[in-house]
Amino acid sequence: MNALSHQINDHAAWRGDAVGRLERFGTWLREHALLDAAAHARLAAALAQLATDKLHVAVVAESSRGKSELINAVLFAPHGRRLLPARAGRTTMCPCELGHDSSQPPHVRLLPIETRHRVQGVDTLRADPSEWTTLNLDVDDPEQMAGVLEALTDVRHVTTDEARRLGFWHDHSPEDNPVPKANGLIEVPRWRHALINLPHPLLSQGLVILDTPGLNATGAEPELTIHQIPQAHVVVFLLAADTGVTRSDMAIWREHLAVDAHRHDTRMVVLNKIDTLWDPLRSAADIEAQIQRQRAESAATLGLPESRVLALSAQKGLLAKVQGDARLLHDSRLGTFEQLLGHTALSHRQRTLSTLLDDTVNGLSREASRVLQVRRRDLAEQLIEFKGLRGKNAHVIAHMRQRVEADQAEFETGLPRVQAVRAIHRKLRLSIAQALDEQQLENALAPLALAFEGPGLKLGLKKAYAESMVQVRACLASSEQLLAEMGAMLTASFRQLNADHGFELELPPTPDLQYFHAELDRMERHHLHHLGVTQLLRLAQPGFSARLLHTLTSSLRGVFQGAQREAALWSKGATAQLGTQIAERRRGFTQRSEGIDRIHGAAENLEQRLRELSDQEQALRHTDLELEQWVAEFRAVVPVHLGLLQAA
C-alpha cells in the first residue's frame, strides 16, 4: 500500500470507529431513556454524515497534460494496464467522476451532450436514470473495462450552428475553436458527463475523483466551474514540466482556480512528464536544477508557495507500479504526490468531522446530564419525604398521598403556560422557515432573473446580481433576527418555568450562521467572476445563460436549505427539553404515589421503598459516571487521529 492508501484507510477506519462509538452511545442513551426526538435527530444526522462522507478531488488541466494518466497511475496499476483512455489523440472528452456506490453494480453512466440544450444541470439529471446511457463493467476483466471506457473518447460531428449552441464554437475567440473537418462539420464530445462506479479500495473508502476536460469544455459547463471544482476538497492542476505555465494554462488558473486566493491550501500544482527532461547527455544535477527552476517559476507565476508545486511523471509512475520497478517509481516521484494529496485532502475533512463529532457528543451529553439532574432531584425529594414517614400512622401516610395528588394537580394546572410557550415557538419557527423558503429566494433573485432575460449582450448582470445578493443576505439576516427573538423568548420562559416547576431547562447556544455568510461571500466571488466582461459573449448564448442562472440559483438554494436545517435542529433541540422534563416530572409523581400506596398500612414496605430509592440513587451515580466515561472516550479519539494525520 502506498502513502495515499494508508492515509485514506486510516481516515476510513477512524470514521468507522466514530460511527460505531456514536451508535453504541445512542443505544446506551436509549436504554437509559436519555434520547428524546431532538437528540435522536441530531444523532442520526451526525451518523449519516460520518458514514457517507466523501473526499472530493478535482483534476484540472488543459488538454494533453496527462490528467487521465495520473488517475491511471494512482488507481489502476493493480489491473496491469491503464483503464482510462490516455494516449495521443484518444483522451477523455467530458467531465468524468470516479467513485463507488456499493448498492449499484460496476458501470459507467454517460449523459448525452444534447442535454446541454436544456436548463437542467448534471446534478438535477443525475437522479433520472432514463437520461443516461449505462454500460456495465466486468471488474475481473481489465481488457473489457478498458474497452468500455473507450466510450469516454466518443465524439459527434455537428454543424457550426449546433456546435455554437452546445458551447464548443465561439465567434468572439476563433483561435480557441476546433478545426472544421473537410466536410465543414465540427467535432464535439458525444457525452456531457460520465459517472464511473468501480469497487476500487480507495473509491470504496469514499474517494471521489473528478477528471475535467480542457478549457473549452470546462468553461461551457457552469456546474463544473461554479459548483464541482470550487467545492472539491483538493484541486490538482496539471502543467507540462517542459513548458511550465503556458498562456492556456494561465487562462484556466485565472478563470477557475485563482478566484479564492485564501484557499490555496487546497490547490496542488503538478508539473507532469518530467521524463521529457531526462537526458542521458546531461548530468542528474543539471536535470534536477531544471526541474527545481520550473517549480520555482511556476509557483511564482501562479502566486503559490513552492511547496504546493510538485514535479512527477505519471506515465513512468504507472509503468513502475505495473512492472514492480521500485527505482523507476522513486524517480517518477509519484509517491511524493500521493502522500501530499492524502494529507491535503484529509486534513480539512478531519477537522470538519472532528468538529461535528465533538459538537454532537457535547450536545447529547448536555441534554442527558439535564435529565439525570431532574431524576436526582426527584429521588432526593422522595427520600426526604419517605424518611419523614418513619413512625407515622396510616392517617399521616394517607394525608401524604393527598399532598402528592395536590402537587400533581398544581403542576398540571401550570402546564398551559408551557403550551403558550410552544405556540409562540411554533409561530417563530414558521417565520424562520418562511424567511428562507423557495419563494423568498425566488423574490430575491428576481432582479437577476430579469437581467438574464432577452437576447444579446447582458451588460447589467453584475448590477442585478448585486441587487439580488443584497436581498439574499437580508433573508439570512432576517432569519438570524428571528432566531435571536426565539432565543430571548425561550431564555425568559425557561427561567420562569425553572422557578415555577423546578425544571432544569437550559437553552443551547443559538446557532451561529456565520458559516452561511462566509459561504455567500465565497459564492459571490465565484459568481461575479463568471458574470464579468470576459464572459459577456458566452453569456449572449441563450443555452449557456439559462444553465448559468439555474446553477447560480441551485447554489444559493443550498445555502438557504443549510441555514434552515441548522435553525430547525436547534429549535427542535431547545423545545424537546420541555416534553422530556414534563414527562420526567409526571414519572416522579407516579413513583411517589405508587410508593405511598405500597407502604400504606405496612411499615416494612416503607423500609423496602427506602432501600429501592437508595438503590436508584446509586444507579444514577453510576449512570453519571458512565456518561462522563463516554464523553472522555470521544475526546480521546480526535487528538489521536489528528496526530497520526499530521505525522503522515
- Measure the CA–CA gap between 226 and 215, rounded to whole angstroms: 14
Instruction: Kindly provide the b/e burial profile for residues 488-519, where b requires at least 16 CB atoms within 10 angstroms of the residue's own CB.
Output: eebeebbeebeeebebbbebbebbebeebbeb
The set of cell numbers assigned to 401 is 398521598
- For the chain, what are the domain ranges? 416-583
Full-model pTM = 0.81
* Coil vs helix vs strand at 192: strand
Q: What is the pLDDT of residues 156-174, one digit of tens each?
A: 999 998 888 888 887 777 7
- Measure the CA–CA gap between 10 and 350, rounded to whole angstroms: 11
**pLDDT-derived band of residue 352, with 50, 70 and 90 as boundaries?**
confident
- Measure the CA–CA gap between 469 and 464, rounded to whole angstroms: 9
Q: What is the pLDDT of residues 411-440, one digit of tens each?
A: 888 888 888 888 999 999 999 999 999 999
Taken as a whole, the chain contains a residue count of 648
Q: Where are the alpha helices (DSSP H) in 388-513?
A: 394-413, 415-435, 438-444, 446-452, 461-501
For cell 502543467, what's the residue? 239
User: Pick from 50, 55, 45, 148: which is nearest to 100 by CA?
Assistant: 55
CA angle 578, 581, 585 (to 5 degrees): 135
Q: Which one-letter amino acid corresponds to residue 439?
A: Q
DSSP 86-136: EETTEE--S-EEEE--TTS-SEEEEEEGGGGGSS--HHHHHT-GGGSEEEE
| CB neighbour list of residue 313: distance below 8 Å, 6 or more residues apart | 272, 273, 274, 275, 331, 332, 333, 334
- Measure the CA–CA gap between 239 and 249, rounded to whole angstroms: 7
Q: Which one-letter amino acid corresponds to residue 210?
A: L
The DSSP output letter for 507 is P
For cell 456514536, what's the residue? 22
Q: What is the pLDDT of residues 514-548, one digit of tens each?
A: 989 988 988 888 788 777 666 666 676 667 778 88
- Measure the CA–CA gap between 177 and 219, rounded to whole angstroms: 13
Q: Cβ atoms within 10 A of the Cβ of 485, count?
A: 14
- Measure the CA–CA gap between 165 and 220, rounded to whole angstroms: 10
**pLDDT-derived band of residue 177, with 50, 70 and 90 as boundaries?**
confident
* Coil vs helix vs strand at 320: helix
Half-sphere exposure of 578 (CA within 13 A, CB side): 22
**pLDDT-derived band of residue 590, with 50, 70 and 90 as boundaries?**
confident
More confident residue, 394 or 350: 350
**pLDDT-derived band of residue 89, with 50, 70 and 90 as boundaries?**
low
Judged by average pLDDT, the poorest of 181-195, 266-280, 298-312, 345-359 is 345-359
Q: According to the 3-state scheme, what is the secondary structure of 158-183? A: ECHHHHHHHCCCCCCCHHHCCCCCCC
Rounded to the nearest integer, the mean pLDDT of the chain is 86
Q: Which one-letter amino acid corresponds to residue 157?
A: H
Strand 309-311 and strand 267-272: the pairing is parallel
Q: Of 235-244, 448-457, 534-543, which one has max mean pLDDT?
A: 235-244
Strand 107-112 and strand 191-197: the pairing is antiparallel
Q: What percentage of the chain carries pLDDT values higher than 90?
A: 43
- pLDDT at 645 exceeding the cut of 50: no
Q: Of 361-370, 386-395, 535-544, 604-613, which one has max mean pLDDT?
A: 361-370
Given a contact cutoff of 8 angstroms between Cβ atoms, the answer to whether 231 and 56 are in contact is yes
Strand partners, 55: 207
Radius of gyration of the chain (CA): 32
Q: Which helix (H) or strand (E) holds 59?
A: strand 55-60
Q: Which helix (H) or strand (E) holds 511?
A: none
The set of cell numbers assigned to 114 is 444534447
**pLDDT-derived band of residue 227, with 50, 70 and 90 as boundaries?**
confident
Half-sphere exposure of 236 (CA within 13 A, CB side): 29
If you average pLDDT over residues 497-516, what whole number do you get? Answer: 87
If you average pLDDT over residues 492-521, what whole number do you get? Answer: 88
Strand 267-272 and strand 107-112: the pairing is unpaired
Given a contact cutoff of 8 angstroms between Cβ atoms, the answer to whether 479 and 563 are in contact is yes
Q: Where are the alpha helices (DSSP H) in 303-414?
A: 314-323, 326-332, 334-387, 394-413
Instruction: Report the Cα 609 to chain-centroid distance in Å.
Output: 53
User: Pick from 69, 57, 648: which is nearest to 320 by CA?
Assistant: 69
Q: What is the pLDDT of residues 180-189, one digit of tens each?
A: 888 989 988 9
- Measure the CA–CA gap between 532 and 256, rounded to whole angstroms: 13
Per-residue model confidence (pLDDT) at position 387: 77
Given a contact cutoff of 8 angstroms between Cβ atoms, the answer to whether 58 and 228 are in contact is yes
**pLDDT-derived band of residue 25, with 50, 70 and 90 as boundaries?**
very high
User: Pick from 263, 596, 536: which is nearest to 405 by CA?
Assistant: 596
| CB neighbour list of residue 566: distance below 8 Å, 6 or more residues apart | 511, 513, 516
